[in-house]
């Protein structure tokens, strides 16, 4: 590479580096530095205090575990991941596969995808209505089935508030999953399925032995993106329950907001932000690895 | 990868590392610079207030600047929207009639959002508005930190309802101007509903329970009392009313100051003997968004609704409206909306002039429209109040009820949110009383 080319490259590299430094690197470093400052000195006390906080609306982990929430934001996020990831993967894959053979599938796909395009605040309101005892579909169904506990407004009871949010979020994120799986299904060569049919394979065998393995890269992406999305979730929690009742539906981002906007404790808010960022980095790292691997191939 | 590419990658990595180190350095430098600037501005603010205090001591109060003659634009930020904003607009228009050179733009922002977003903007030396409404505790805090214009010489303290300025005082200075006041006097009902079913206002707690039982037996009634929800404050208003009625006005004040703790047996008794039994018997509805429940209550799905005086401006026919407090109550929660002028306003003089109007004649204008508010400025005659509010005001004064500060608004901060959230829990799970009181006590400010 000659000298002129190097200068050209440097000129191209410099503007994005400057922009990244100002708007990404500086705030990140600023937040990390802020999280370690307590009473004017560098220490770990902000981390210690946010991790040991026991007030339900600010607790990351509640030591007194009971069968129903509140359990603390970290555990709520973990439960959320445990329920929503399998649901988003399974429902997304099945819906994408089944809808290929159903008349009017584009309308159903459009409805499912609606959750993805709605602003978080609007989605939150829709979730509120979905679980309201007078107009919500879920309480109505359980009223017909004769389950009194689930025929009430889910979002105001500590036993059901978190579950209502999780189910609502599954609807919101399903559009993303179905879209990715639909694209994945399109990429499977039809000759594979035709050969299997000629060999006498049933629809279930085709789905289990061909479709599912072929969709593995898509499944990995769906899992990682869902985990990252759940870790960062805030807007629907803020709108639907505000983390309550009794702190039974708090999440990490909500705790960060509480420290930042309610108690005006910016150093502790920064500490929670760093914890949240570190947790999000784990799936993000795997995601980037997969993307880079795909590019190399 | 070719050698040139390798070199380029190494070069990019070195550059990125350099950028990181530079960023770290600039973060630390900027923070130390910012703290020095804050120290300097605090010293200047201190000097200014010393000069002001000295001027007052020698009998020469700092004169307020007259409103400028040239065209000025003020941005006013307040919590009202919809009809409530319309009533506030009447105050703005009244001011503009005498100050045609002042253009006023009104923007809606809830007190929660003001408290959440302004501190950062103030720290950066900017303000999104010239006159801003906010919680009393927040104003006192911001004033103390040197972000607000000192209003001590603007507000004549003896012309206001006693104690109303306490919330916005800090370091012996007044940082906020009181606007009109709301009261949370008790349970509202439709006169026609009570007449139709032969119901009357209770004179004791037992009669109150009997009334609830009668309402419960009326066909079509879901619950005797509608419970408002939303951010959570409607439930806290009900609880405070029970505390004042059965713990006494002093208990309310002691809970605010932290002298009485939430786990105190006297506080527990109020909950256990009076409120929790009503929750257990489902006399209260589940929490429902407070504005959406109004038409349902008006249609007879609920008999009573505990709300502030602003409800008078939110119903179809305010003449069909009446209220009763819990019979044993000797106090009523009342509070004002407070406004302040940030130091960073570009039109401090015009803003202070408008604020002065809000704190005085403007209150008369606001109380004369269906805002459901009464003035905190004692110079406004009762006859100027909107008719339905005159009867409310008369009923409260006839009972000789003390006006007390709002418990959660006075404490503020994240305790307020915790209080609201724990009450939501209590409403659906009255059995959690002990845990609720313990949680509230653990975060309650110490005296």
| B25-79 pLDDT per residue, tens | 665 666 556 555 555 555 555 555 555 544 444 444 444 445 556 789 999 999 9
Is there a single domain that holds both residue B179 and residue B327?
no
pLDDT higher than threshold 80 for residue B12: no
Q: Nearest to residue B260, comparing CAs of B390, B380, B375, B411? A: B411
CB-based contact (8 Å) between A121 and chain B?
A: no
Number of domains in chain B: 2
Q: How many CB atoms lie within 10 A of CB B166?
A: 11
Residue B236 pLDDT more than 90? yes
* Of B274, B306, B247, residue with least CA distance to B433: B274
Q: Nearest CB to B20: which of A13, A25, A247?
A: A25
Q: Are residues B157 and B232 in the same domain?
A: no
Spatial distance between the Cα atoms of B226 and B279, rounded to a whole number of angstroms: 12
Range of the domain at B123: 72-183+336-384
At B4, the pLDDT band (50, 70, 90 cuts) reads: low
Question: Per-residue pLDDT for B10 more than 80?
Answer: no
CB of A147 within 8 Å of a chain B CB? The answer is: no
Q: What pLDDT does residue A102 have?
A: 79
- Global pTM? 0.79
For residue B37, tell me if it sits in a domain: no
- A56·B439 Cβ contact <8 A: yes
| In-domain check, residue A10 | no
Q: Which residues of chain A have pLDDT under 70?
A: 1, 295-297
Dist. CA B205–CA B11, nearest whole Å: 81
Which of the residues A24, A125, A154, A244 would you substitute to probe the B interface, choosing the one with the greatest number of B C-beta atoms within 10 Å? A244
Same domain, B291 and B432: yes
Q: Is A177 inside any structural domain?
A: yes
Are residues B197 and B314 part of one domain? yes
Pick from B20, B10, B22: which is nearest to A6 by CA?
B10
Instruction: Decide if B48 is inside a domain.
Output: no
The answer, for A237 touching chain B at a CB cutoff of 8 Å, is no
Cβ of A262 within 8 Å of Cβ of B232? The answer is no
**Domain membership flag for residue A26:** no
- B176 lies in the same domain as B207: no
- Tokens 């770290």 correspond to B24
Q: What's the pLDDT score for residue B108?
A: 95
How many CA atoms lie within 13 Å of A212's alpha carbon, on the beta-carbon side?
A: 11
Q: Residue B262 belongs to a domain with what CATH number? A: 3.40.190.10
* B270 and B357 part of one domain: no
Q: Tell me if A105 is assigned to some domain.
A: yes
Show the domain range for A83.
43-295
* Within a domain: A274: yes
B311 & B439 share domain:
yes
CB proximity list for A133: less than 8 A, separation 6 or greater: A139, A151, A152, A153, B286
Radius of gyration for chain B, computed over Cα atoms and rounded to the nearest angstrom:
26
Do B274 and B208 share a domain, yes or no?
Answer: yes
Give the number of beta-carbon pairs within 8 Å between A and B.
Answer: 99
Total tally of structural domains belonging to chain A: 1
A28 domain-assigned = no
Round the average pLDDT of chain B to a whole number and report it. 87
* A23 in a structural domain: no
Same domain? For B86 and B152 the reply is: yes
pLDDT of the residue at A75: 94
CATH for A65: 1.10.3720.10
Q: What share of chain A is helix, strand, coil (3-state, %, to 5)?
A: 75, 0, 25
Same domain, B158 and B168: yes
Q: Mutate one of B5, B414, B439 to test the A interface: name it (highest A CB count within 10 A).
A: B414
Name the residue among B18, B372, B308 with its Cα closest to residue A10: B18
Residues B130 and B270 in one domain: no
Examine the domain organization and report whether B144 and B261 are in the same domain: no
Distance CA B19, CA B10 (A): 14
């Amino acid at each position: 590479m000659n000298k002129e080319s190097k200068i050209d490259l440097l000129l191209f590299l410099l503007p994005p580096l400057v922009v990244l430094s100002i708007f990404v690197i500086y705030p990140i470093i600023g937040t990390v530095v802020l999280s370690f400052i307590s009473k004017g000195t560098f220490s770990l006390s902000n981390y210690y205090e946010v991790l040991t906080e026991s007030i339900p609306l600010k607790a990351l982990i509640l030591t007194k575990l009971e069968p129903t929430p509140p359990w603390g934001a970290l555990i709520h996020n973990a439960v959320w991941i445990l329920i929503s990831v399998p649901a988003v993967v399974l429902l997304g894959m099945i819906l994408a596969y089944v809808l290929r053979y159903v008349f009017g599938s584009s309308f159903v796909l459009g409805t499912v995808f609606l959750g993805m395009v709605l602003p978080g605040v609007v989605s939150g309101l829709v979730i509120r209505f979905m679980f309201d005892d007078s107009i919500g579909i879920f309480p109505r169904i359980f009223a017909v089935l004769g389950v009194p506990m689930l025929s009430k407004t889910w979002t105001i009871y500590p036993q059901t508030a978190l579950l209502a949010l999780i189910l609502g979020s599954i609807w919101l994120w399903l559009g993303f999953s179905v879209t990715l799986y639909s694209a994945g299904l399109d990429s499977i060569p039809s000759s594979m399925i035709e050969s299997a049919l000629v060999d006498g394979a049933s629809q279930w065998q085709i789905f289990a032995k061909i479709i599912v393995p072929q969709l593995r890269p898509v499944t990995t992406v769906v899992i990682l993106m869902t985990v990252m999305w759940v870790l960062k979730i805030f807007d629907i929690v803020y709108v639907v329950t505000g983390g309550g009742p009794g702190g039974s539906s708090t999440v990490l981002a909500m705790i960060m907001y509480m420290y930042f906007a309610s108690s005006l404790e910016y150093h502790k808010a920064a500490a929670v932000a760093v914890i949240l960022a570190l947790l999000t980095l784990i799936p993000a790292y795997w995601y980037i690895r997969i993307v880079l691997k795909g590019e190399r191939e | 990868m070719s050698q040139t590419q390798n070199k380029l990658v190494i070069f990019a990595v070195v550059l990125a590392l350099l950028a990181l180190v530079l960023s770290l350095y600039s973060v630390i430098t900027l923070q130390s610079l910012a703290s020095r600037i804050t120290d300097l501005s605090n010293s200047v603010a201190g000097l200014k207030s010393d000069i002001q205090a000295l001027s007052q001591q020698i009998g020469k109060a700092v004169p307020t600047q007259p409103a400028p003659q040239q065209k000025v634009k003020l941005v006013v930020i307040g919590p009202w929207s919809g009809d409530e904003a319309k009533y506030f607009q009447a105050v703005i228009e009244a001011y503009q009639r005498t100050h045609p050179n002042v253009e006023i733009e009104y923007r809606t922002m809830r007190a929660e959002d003001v408290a959440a977003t302004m501190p950062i903007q103030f720290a950066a030396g900017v303000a999104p508005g010239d006159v801003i409404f906010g919680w009393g505790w927040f104003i006192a805090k911001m004033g103390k930190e040197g972000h607000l214009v000192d209003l001590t010489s603007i507000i004549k303290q003896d012309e206001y309802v006693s104690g109303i300025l306490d919330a916005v005082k800090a370091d012996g200075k007044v940082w906020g101007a009181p606007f009109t006041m709301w009261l949370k006097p008790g349970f509202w009902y439709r006169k026609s509903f009570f007449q139709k079913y032969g119901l009357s206002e209770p004179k004791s707690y037992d009669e109150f329970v009997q009334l609830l039982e009668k309402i419960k037996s009326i066909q079509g009634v879901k619950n005797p009392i509608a419970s408002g929800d939303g951010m959570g404050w409607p439930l806290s208003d009900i609880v405070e009313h029970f505390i004042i009625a059965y713990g006494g006005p002093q208990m309310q004040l002691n809970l605010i100051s932290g002298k009485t703790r939430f786990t105190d047996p006297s506080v527990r008794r109020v909950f256990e003997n009076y409120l929790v039994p009503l929750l257990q018997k489902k006399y209260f509805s589940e929490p429902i968004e407070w504005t959406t429940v109004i038409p349902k209550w008006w249609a007879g799905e609920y008999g009573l609704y505990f709300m502030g005086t602003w409800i008078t401006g939110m119903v179809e026919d305010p003449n069909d409206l009446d209220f009763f407090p819990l019979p044993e109550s000797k106090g009523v929660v009342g509070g004002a909306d407070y406004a302040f002028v940030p130091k960073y306003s570009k039109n401090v003089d015009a803003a202070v002039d408008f604020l002065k109007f809000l704190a005085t004649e403007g209150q008369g204008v606001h109380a004369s429209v269906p805002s459901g508010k009464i003035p905190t400025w004692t110079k406004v005659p009762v006859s100027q109040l909107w008719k339905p509010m005159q009867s409310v005001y008369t009923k409260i004064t006839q009972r000789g009820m003390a006006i007390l500060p709002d418990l959660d608004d006075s404490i503020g901060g994240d305790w307020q949110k915790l209080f609201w959230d724990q009450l939501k829990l209590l409403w659906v799970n009255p059995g959690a009383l002990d845990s609720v009181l313990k949680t509230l006590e653990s975060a309650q400010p110490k005296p």
